[in-house]
Amino acid sequence: FNKGQIKITGGGNNYTIDLSKKLKLTDTNRYVKNPRNTEIEVILEKSR
């Protein structure tokens, strides 16, 4: 199973997308404001 999250912060963005749940349509097509000033952090947890 998938576990983890994607965090999008900076530049007026503050989103956390949970990868363990079915992605909502709003999360699969997320508009990122000010992409040059945005930080995207992908956290993947290993399943046992």
Per-residue model confidence as pLDDT tens digits over 1-48 = 678 999 999 999 999 999 988 888 877 788 899 999 999 999 998 877
CA proximity to 14, closest of 4, 6, 25, 22: 6
Q: What pLDDT shows up at residue 1?
A: 60
**CA pair distance 4, 30, nearest whole angstrom:** 18
